[in-house]
Amino acid sequence: MTTCRVLSEDPELAEVIPAELRAQATEDCIAPVRSIARGRWRPEAGGSNWVGSGGIGLLVLEGLLIRRVGVDDRFGAELLGEGDLLRPWQGEELAGSLSQTTGWRVLEATRLAVLDESAAVCFAGYPQLTGALVGRALERSRNLAFNMAIIHQARVNIRLLMLLWHLADRWGRVRSEGVVLPLHLTHTVLADLVAARRPTVTSSLTELARQGLVEPLRRGWLLLGEPPGELLEFEPVQVGAGAK
């Protein structure tokens, strides 16, 4: 199994370390790496064994995944990518009052840093990393709540437009013609994310394109104009914060 210097792979984590300690922290914080091919993923088949009972979890270094949760044949979904912290096996074995199904799919080949017990010991030498990783988990919860607000919009085309702009806040790149969202999201994936049926998503995207608000690209979407609706006023849109 290959290893990586986690703070080199994830510069945002490195930035929380005081400058005078950053080089040493980068050398110290090493973790195994696992690669996952596109397609269905069953993390319960080995993910917990990778990390161990005293480990932190799986940190996405690159790639894109979707998690679907279904109750009574109705599904919600969560899109996860670079920088997200996962413990996908946690709670899956617990029986709840409602019967549910959970599934993971890798949309783009993904690399994961396995923050196992050994990595946890290394990270413990730099307390700032604990706060940063807890922050990642809280940000994931916040994004889920935001997505819930989006899917309560009555019109699917509004849900889609809000979702695309919300994703652009994280992954978008500003260009002269608009904002490019470089994610290959099929209509089926978008349907899961906005709690709609795929044919409705297809017709809604056609309408958004006709209105000059969204343009499909070979790999991704071009967003035109300004972010829509009052929902996005709850958080300032900082498009392309990760742009190089």
* Domain at 21, CATH number: 2.60.120
Task: Return the amino acid letter for 38.
Answer: R
**What is the residue range of 183's domain?**
153-234
Number of structural domains found in the chain = 2
The model's pLDDT over 48-80, given as tens digits with 9 standing for 90+, comes to: 678 888 899 999 999 999 998 866 566 678 999
Residue 238 has pLDDT above 80, yes or no: no
pLDDT at 234: 44
Least confident of 148-157, 163-172, 224-233: 224-233
**Rounded CA separation 36/112 (Å):** 8
Instruction: Pick the last residue of a domain from 104, 139, 174.
Output: 139
* Domain at 216, CATH number: 1.10.10.10
When pLDDT is cut at 50, 70 and 90, the band that residue 227 belongs to is: confident
Cβ(148)–Cβ(156) below 8 Å = no
Tell whether 222 and 177 lie within a shared domain.
yes
Give residues with Cβ within 8 angstroms of 95, minimum separation 6: none
pTM of the model: 0.84
The model's pLDDT over 183-202, given as tens digits with 9 standing for 90+, comes to: 999 999 999 999 999 999 99
- Single out the residue of 45, 24, 23 nearest to residue 34, CA to CA: 45
